[in-house]
Amino acid sequence: MKKILVAAAGTGGHVLPAYRFAKHATTSGNKIIWIGGKREIEKKYATKVNADFYSLGATGVRGKSIFDTLKAIFNLGLSLVVCISYFIKTKPDLVIVFGGYISIPVGIAAIISRKRLFTHEQNAVLGTANKFLSKFAKINFLGLPLHHESVSRGKLVGNPVGALTQEEKSKHTNRLHIYITGGSLGSAFINTHIPNLLNQYSEKIKIIHQSGIGNRDIVKENYKPFNDVEVIEYIEDPLAIIQSSDFVISRAGALTLSELMIIGRGGIIIPLPSAIDNHQFFNAEYFSKTGMGFIFQEHEDIGKLKNILDELILNEGFRKFTGDKEKNIAAEKKILESILDYGK
């Protein structure tokens, strides 16, 4: 048995792959120590794998005002001191960070403590923390091929996506099943425009729409003509819904795209334009190049989005998606085997 320290905080994009890895590692007989932030999401998933949970007050640096940046730098320094005390207390054998601001103090503490350090990057662009720590990591695991950069000691393993059911896509009647998601926080663009564009097909389609927390009533109102629509604020595990869908309309988060690729569902991907380093666009570009669907950017004419939707709904040939399943099969298993085998 090994003590494996996992660092993940902030959004589901970092926390969920860490959780799926931690779940597999625990099932395989290892002990998980989890360092996260102050949000409830990290503690929630750490509890699910019986991890010893420790929190840090670190915050992100990029995209902030000068005052907030200085405050964040101070917090990072303080978090490093606290983090080293956690290392002394827990004595981990291995350390793996999943990106985001929390990874920096944890990664530096691992270097100072001379612990074997590993990183996992979910996106097609290295985040700031992983870019810095990659120089010191034994292996840098990649969820997607990097778009325009290389990393030493990189290993493409895919993103942990969890267990799939054996159930194939359900046999539908004459209705198409469409899954729509703007992520856990929702997307104002998707929540507003997609219902308006789909209203004319209310007799042809069944919709499950993840609206984001606090947006359910507004989105439901936008679907007023529909009889067969379900609006849900947050879906923790969408794999079964994706499997039963004909196509998906989604943001370009790395985990969502990995789930779509392993299941073989494509559709329309609408990257978040404010994503740091434009990483959602590069995620979507890779997704599109593998034959999984179409990119629409918010600055483009809405008529283009309507035309793609029309083709997907009316033309079955447009729904023949290929994909690249192998890169996301058992990613958590590949990561665990690699870090346990390192240095043997």
Same topology, domains 3-156 and 176-327? Answer is yes
Residue 293 has pLDDT above 70, yes or no: yes
Residue 343 neighbours by CB distance under 10 Å: 8
Chain segment 73-87, per-residue pLDDT in tens: 667 778 888 999 999
Interval 225-247 mean pLDDT: 88
What whole-number distance in Å separates Cα of residue 341 and Cα of residue 257? 29
Chain segment 139-178, per-residue pLDDT in tens: 999 999 998 788 999 999 999 987 665 455 545 557 899 9
- Per domain, the residue ranges of the chain are 3-156, 176-327
What whole-number distance in Å separates Cα of residue 266 and Cα of residue 252? 12
Residue 328 has pLDDT above 90, yes or no: no
Tell me which fold the domain 3-156 belongs to.
Answer: Rossmann fold (3.40.50)
Interval 325-333 mean pLDDT: 75
Q: Which two tokens stand for residue 244?
A: 């039963």
Residue 116 has pLDDT above 80, yes or no: yes
Residue 240 has pLDDT above 70, yes or no: yes
Architecture of domain 176-327: 3-Layer(aba) Sandwich (3.40)
* pTM of the complete model: 0.86
**With pLDDT > 90 as the criterion, what percentage of the chain qualifies?**
62
**pLDDT of the residue at 69:** 57
